[in-house]
């Protein structure tokens, strides 16, 4: 028995994944002799089946995470057979668009579950702050949400959406979404704290602080009347930036240096 990090009750804790096992499954390449995904840390890059997990939550809280966010998001993220969220945007009319950017009212697209997308996003950001996770290289850097950590925890338990918080949900802009993911990392936004993470086809941003720019508050994927969802080329550049920074210090394992099957 130990205290569940979410509900704070003494319960039997099960194995909780930092990112769901379903995300790892989409990163496998069955055409390769070693189909396991490539894990890149700041110290080492290698193929591995080992997932980032620890005993964190009770079964009730795990079920809450699945029911209110994970199940829907993971079923509709980018998969080899289809990308349902992207298909829904392609069939809709954007409210505004430019060459590299478009935004839509999710309220006008019945097949989208924005509440699930935002709940999932905040559950992952909260996990990144509430616990020190380990990967093959040791303890991960994680993020620090400060006072927002507990406010987000209360929201995840059924409370109000935390004030001075903005979540932005963006969809990969091209048909073939990169099969990649990275855990929450610190970003940048003038006047506030910014974080982001990626799963196949979807990027989630979190902004916290009293000085969040008003133009960003107005387009929050949860707090705005339209519950906006975005399609933006910036996801591609953000993903490249994340992996370039890791590659600068990451040592490539000998197995990964071997030529891959064509």
Name which of 202, 207, 233 is nearest 222 in CA terms. 207
Distances (CA, A) of 83 to 101, 107, 172, 179, 201: 19, 19, 10, 12, 8
Q: What average pLDDT does range 232-252 have in this prediction?
A: 83
pTM of the model: 0.91
Query: Is 20 domain-assigned?
Result: no
- Asked if residue 118 is part of any domain, the answer here is yes
Helix (H, G, I), strand (E, B) or coil at 217: helix
Residues 6+ apart with CB under 8 A from 196: 184, 185, 187, 203, 204, 205, 206, 238
Is pLDDT of 92 > 90? yes
pLDDT in tens, 13-34: 999 999 888 888 888 777 676 6
What's the total number of domains in the chain?
1
- Any idea which of 164-168, 193-197, 237-241 has the lowest mean pLDDT? 237-241
Domain that holds residue 131: 2-10+32-257
Tell me whether residue 22 is in a domain.
no
Q: What is the mean pLDDT of residues 173-193?
A: 89
φ and ψ at residue 230, rounded to 5 degrees:
-120, 155
- Asked if residue 257 has pLDDT above 90, the reply is no
19 found inside a domain: no
The pLDDT value recorded for residue 191 is 87
Residue 160 lies in a domain: yes
Domain annotation covers residue 115: yes
Q: Does 17 map to a domain?
A: no
Mean pLDDT of the chain: 89
CB-based contact 153:217 (threshold 8 Å) = no
In a domain, 136, yes or no: yes
pLDDT at 262 > cutoff 70:
no
- Tens of pLDDT, residue by residue over 93-149, are 999 988 888 999 999 999 999 999 999 999 999 999 999 999 877 888 889 999 999
The pLDDT of 188-216, averaged and rounded, is: 94
């Amino acid at each position: 028995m130990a205290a569940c990090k979410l509900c704070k009750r003494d319960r039997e804790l099960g194995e909780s994944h930092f990112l769901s096992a379903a995300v790892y499954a989409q990163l496998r390449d069955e055409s390769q002799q070693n189909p396991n995904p490539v894990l890149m840390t700041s110290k080492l890059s290698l193929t591995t089946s080992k997932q980032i997990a620890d005993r964190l939550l009770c079964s009730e809280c795990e079920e809450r995470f699945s029911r209110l966010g994970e199940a829907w998001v993971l079923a509709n993220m980018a998969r080899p057979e289809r990308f349902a969220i992207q298909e829904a945007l392609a069939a809709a009319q954007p409210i505004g668009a430019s060459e590299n950017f478009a935004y839509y009212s999710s309220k006008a697209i019945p097949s989208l579950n924005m509440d699930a997308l935002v709940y999932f996003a905040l559950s992952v950001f909260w996990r990144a702050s509430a616990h020190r996770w380990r990967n093959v290289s040791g303890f991960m850097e994680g993020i620090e949400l400060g006072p927002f950590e507990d406010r987000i925890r209360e929201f995840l338990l059924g409370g109000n959406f935390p004030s001075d918080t903005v979540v932005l949900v963006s969809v990969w802009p091209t048909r073939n979404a990169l099969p990649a993911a990275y855990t929450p990392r610190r970003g940048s936004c003038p006047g506030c704290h910014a974080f982001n993470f990626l799963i196949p086809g979807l990027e989630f941003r979190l902004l916290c602080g009293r000085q969040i720019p008003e133009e960003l508050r107005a387009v929050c994927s949860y707090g705005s009347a339209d519950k906006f969802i975005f399609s933006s080329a910036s996801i591609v550049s953000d993903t490249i930036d994340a992996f370039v920074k890791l590659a600068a210090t990451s040592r490539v394992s000998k197995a990964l240096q071997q030529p891959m099957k064509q």
